[in-house]
Amino acid sequence: MNEAVYASRRIDLMPWTKYRERLAKAPVIFLPVGALEQHGPHLPMGCDALLAEAMAARVAEALDGLLLPTLRYGYKSQARSGGGQTFPGTTSLDGGTLTAMVRDILREVARHGASRIVIVNGHVENQWFLTEGIDLALRELALTGRHMQVVRCEYWNFTPQTVLESLFDGGFPGVDLEHAALLETSMMLALYPQLIDMAAIPEDATGVFPGYDSYPQDGRGVPASGVLAPARAASPVKGKLLIDSTVAEMVKALRQEFTV
């Protein structure tokens, strides 16, 4: 995607006067949220934020929407979905901090007059804290009589099952174990090939976990590399297929939700 097109939708890159003008058309406004979290020896730690942002930018392009600056930190990594908090570099927020950030941003854009917001999440562990931020903001807004509609979505839920099946020979391991694995690596290859070190993809990867979480987490079951499922078969072609098919489904769903 053309970087200039993407930039033209970012509100942090426009003057307030331009933002006000665009806002008058009641656009859908996107808030991508990710994390700063280890993603194996081959992917950058900003992976979840970069992917959420890329999806949001493409969907915003299709719906003539606007983009809020991406939240590049997220809730604490969990062993079974992100390798946990034992890795250097993984830099996480307390749940209350993330909740408060989301609540504050929503309150502010409501004050601007925005009424249709989509939070595009790229990090499994963020989900309920985003929801809590939305709930607190809406509860506050209800008292002022302002109305705002907020969609929270995890982009991976839009990837068609047929696409997933076509990419996995031995069966889809599930989205949690796909941390730094085939899906994320493929999409990152399609978007940021210069940031990916294919030679560093580990052989060891497959997390083995019980059906519960035990705290304090000590890294048990997490492969030393931090990659939770095999990534070797990743490719930019698969990444493009994943991105295009996911974006198409997101656009379809949001058109319906917001009648745009």
Contact, 49 vs 9, CB < 8 A? no
Considering beta carbons, is residue 80 or 123 the nearer one to Mn ion? 123
- One-letter identity of residue 6: Y
Rounded to a whole number of angstroms, the minimum distance from the CB of residue 10 to Mn ion is 23
Q: Known catalytic residue: 179?
A: yes
Asked if 48 interacts with Zn ion (CB under 5 A), we say: yes
Residue whose CB is nearest to Zn ion in the complex, by number: 48
Contact, 180 vs 40, CB < 8 A? yes
Distance of CA 146 to the CA centre of its chain: 27
Q: Known catalytic residue: 125?
A: yes
> 117 has which bridge partners?
29, 150
Considering beta carbons, is residue 74 or 133 the nearer one to Zn ion? 74
Q: Known catalytic residue: 123?
A: yes
Asked if 178 interacts with Zn ion (CB under 5 A), we say: no
**Dihedral sign (CA 127, 87, 183, 11):** positive
Among 39-47, 96-104, 133-141, 203-211, which window interacts with Zn ion (CB under 5 A)? 39-47
78 Cβ neighbours under 8 A, 6+ residues apart? 84, 124, 125, 213, 217
Q: Known catalytic residue: 147?
A: no
Considering beta carbons, is residue 82 or 239 the nearer one to Mn ion? 82
Rounded to a whole number of angstroms, the minimum distance from the CB of residue 51 to Zn ion is 7
Rounded to a whole number of angstroms, the minimum distance from the CB of residue 156 to Mn ion is 11
Considering beta carbons, is residue 135 or 154 the nearer one to Zn ion? 154
Beta strands 116-121; 29-33: pairing state? parallel
Radius of gyration of the chain (CA): 18
Contact, 247 vs 240, CB < 8 A? no
Candidate list 42, 48, 53, 178, residue with the active-site label: 48
Candidate list 108, 123, 169, 203, residue with the active-site label: 123
Q: Which residues bind Zn ion (CB under 5 A)?
A: 47-48, 184
Q: Tell me which residues are annotated as active site.
A: 37, 39, 48, 123, 125, 179, 184
